[in-house]
């Protein structure tokens, strides 16, 4: 059993379809004799690398956002920044730095939230391309279908 994101599934289904039409040998890295087909295979490989990178960055952003949320909760539980710093082994310079970092938390969280939105927009764009390719491969028609969207689950 394979567990894939929607983007991974769309990519794999499209690549399999291309392999069905162009020859199974492309699945194993063998070049296709028709340059246009090989160009499509190369673009699919580039898209795969792009999707993997975006998924990694998205997961990293989500994890960072969660760490910031937990830190903010701990700060609030201790009555604010001063309560959080009480009992910690910081000199005054370190305390000042921690205060600066804590003051920037809302801005960092907003940046991470924007990264998540950007990720979903880019993934939606890639999904639309894959759906268009699949439609052309399946039906020969080039009229785009309404695309699916990526929710927070990826």
**DSSP per-residue codes, 63-95:** HHHHHHHHHHHHHHHTTSHHHHHTTS---HHHH
Q: Which residues of 26-44 are buried (b: 16+ CB within 10 A; e: fewer)?
A: beeeeebeeeebeebbeeb
pTM of the predicted model as reported, rounded to 2 decimal places = 0.64
Tens-binned pLDDT, residue by residue, of the chain (154 aa): 778 888 888 888 888 888 888 888 988 889 988 888 888 888 889 888 988 888 888 888 888 888 888 888 888 887 887 777 777 777 788 778 888 888 888 888 888 888 888 888 888 888 888 887 877 777 766 554 555 454 544 4
**For position 152, what pLDDT does the model report?**
46
Give the model's pLDDT for residue 74: 83
**69 and 109 in contact (C-beta within 8 Å)?**
yes
Question: What are the domain boundaries of the chain?
Answer: 6-139
Question: Which residues have C-beta within 8 Å of that of residue 48, sequence separation ≥ 6?
Answer: 11, 15
The Cα–Cα gap between 49 and 72 comes to 35
């Amino acid at each position: 059993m394979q567990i894939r994101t929607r983007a991974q599934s769309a990519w794999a289904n499209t690549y399999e379809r291309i392999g069905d039409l162009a020859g199974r040998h492309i699945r194993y890295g063998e070049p296709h004799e028709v340059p246009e087909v090989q160009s499509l295979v190369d673009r699919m490989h580039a898209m795969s690398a792009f999707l993997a990178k975006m998924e990694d960055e998205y997961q990293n952003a989500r994890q960072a956002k969660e760490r910031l949320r937990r830190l903010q909760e701990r700060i609030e539980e201790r009555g604010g920044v001063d309560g959080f710093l009480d009992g910690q082994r910081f000199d005054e310079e370190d305390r000042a730095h921690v205060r600066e970092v804590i003051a920037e938390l809302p801005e960092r969280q907003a940046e991470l939230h924007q990264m998540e939105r950007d990720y979903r927009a880019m993934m939606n764009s890639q999904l639309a391309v894959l759906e268009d390719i699949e439609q052309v491969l399946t039906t020969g028609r080039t009229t785009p279908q309404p695309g699916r969207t990526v929710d927070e689950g990826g």
